[in-house]
Amino acid sequence: MDDLLVVSHLSPQAPGGAGAVYLGHLLVEPRRHAPGLADLTEAEAQRVGVWCTRAAGALREAGGAEHVYAAVIGDNVPHLHVHLLPRYPGTPRAYWWQRVDAWPDAPRGGQSEAAAMVERLRLHYSDETPPP
């Protein structure tokens, strides 16, 4: 998204993806290696915050989410990834939060569906001014 960080969609080719992923699962991460939130520079922290906010807004407005969860896990990869997980209308309460992508009727897709989601979100981003 800028010189300090990247916003990307979880790849269907990611380990465990099995060719299909939960649509709208975004990752906000610094370009520089930083193991966790406490390792960010002030500028990186500001950009992570700005882009988490913008991406969550795009997921609601252009992606159809009714709510967006954010999490930093860091157990498998020692590099900061802020996971943004949309909750879509109709998701049963039993699948909210950590299980949102386990709902059998959750929207999933392969490379073309993920690319279409990214394009909808990108069009939303293009309407906004760049972060400071």
pLDDT in tens, 36-63: 999 999 999 999 999 999 999 999 999 9
pLDDT of residue 76: 83
31, amino acid identity? R
Band (13; pLDDT cuts 50, 70, 90): confident
Percent of the chain with pLDDT over 70: 92
Beta bridge partners of 109: 21
Which has the higher per-residue pLDDT, 130 or 74? 74
User: Could you tell me the sign of the dihedral formed by the alpha carbons of 65, 70, 73, 76, in that order?
Assistant: positive
Band (78; pLDDT cuts 50, 70, 90): confident
CA distance 51 to 26: 11
- What value does the mean pLDDT take over residues 10-20? 75
In 2-113, the DSSP E strands lie at 5-9, 21-22, 26-30, 67-72, 82-87, 108-109
**Is 15's pLDDT higher than 80?**
no
pLDDT of residue 129: 53
Global model pTM greater than 0.85: yes
